[in-house]
Structure 1
Amino acid sequence: MNEDVFWQLIHECSPSTPDPDGHQLAASLAARLAKGPVFNVVGFAKQLSWALYRLDRREYGDDLSSDQFLYTRAAVVATGREEYQSVLRDPQRFMPYANGLVWAEALLYVPDKTYEHLTGDEWDRSTRYSYESYSNRAGWTDA
């Protein structure tokens, strides 16, 4: 799955009503990915990890716990490509997410749950980029 397909999927699965915890989006994504094939689930996981990794920088999460920071970054991804790119360009746009404690933790579990649904096996996921907070070392070096 390339980046364009990833963002199109986020867009198509986004609910039309407020979804402050990302549960509706996660359910819709899981339902779509559960139609297979498995490589789409793996591709989705890779793109999600890359998107979260890119937001893993000091200017976004210096004052947040690792869980707060991860779930807030997921909320930015859940808003879609346009807002995500705006936040990347201007770290001040991240603050409303962090200050309002808007989280989309449910988005993180979509690949694992969908993989298990399709294969019957738990996924020992590994992607090139870790989405865990503070894993982007370049984003946390002192400027």
Structure 2
Amino acid sequence: MDENAFWQCVEDCRPSGPDPDGDGLADALTGRLTNGPVHDVVGFAEQLSLALYRLDRREYGDGLSGDAFLYTRAAVVAAGRAEYERVLRDPERFRPYADDLVWAEALLYVPDRAYRHLTGEEWDRSTRHSYESYSNTAGWTTAPAEPNC
């Protein structure tokens, strides 16, 4: 699954009404992935982890606990590609998700649930990018201070 297919899947499965905890989206995504081959589940997991990893930066998560930061990043992904890309361009757009505790923890478990349904086994692999909070070390390094001239 490439990036475009990932985002199309998210858009196709987003509920039309309120989904405050992301459970509706997660259920729809799991249902969709369980109708396809295992490699779609793996591809979805890779794209999800990359999207979350790209948001794992100091300007988004400074001051948030690890769990709050992870679940809030998931909520940004759950909001769809257009909003996700706006947040990447403007970190101030992330703050309302964190301030309002808009979380989408259930999105994180979609690959596990779909994989288990398709194979009868537990998911036992890592993705190329870790989505755990603060794992993007480049995103958390402090920029060098400006020299005093």
TM-score for the superposition, normalised by structure 2: 0.95
Could you tell me how far apart the structure 2 residues matched to 1:81 and 1:111 are? 19
- Matched with 1:29 is 29
- Matched with 2:51 is 51
- Matched with 1:101 is 101
Residue aligned with 2:116, SS? helix
Root-mean-square deviation (CA, aligned residues, Å) is 0.4
1:125 positional shift = 2.5
Question: What number of residue pairs does the alignment pair up?
Answer: 143
Q: Which piece of structure 1 moves more, 120-129 or 47-56?
A: 120-129
Residue aligned with 1:109, SS? helix
Q: Write the deviation string for residues 14-40 of structure 1: whole angstroms up to 9, x where unpaired.
A: 000010100000000000000020000
- Matched with 1:4 is 4
- Matched with 1:75 is 75
Letter in 1 for 2:131: Y
Larger radius of gyration: 2
Structure 1 unaligned blocks of 5 or more: none
Structure 2 unaligned blocks of 5 or more: 144-149
TM-score for the superposition, normalised by structure 1: 0.99
| 4+ residue segments displaced more than 6 Å | none
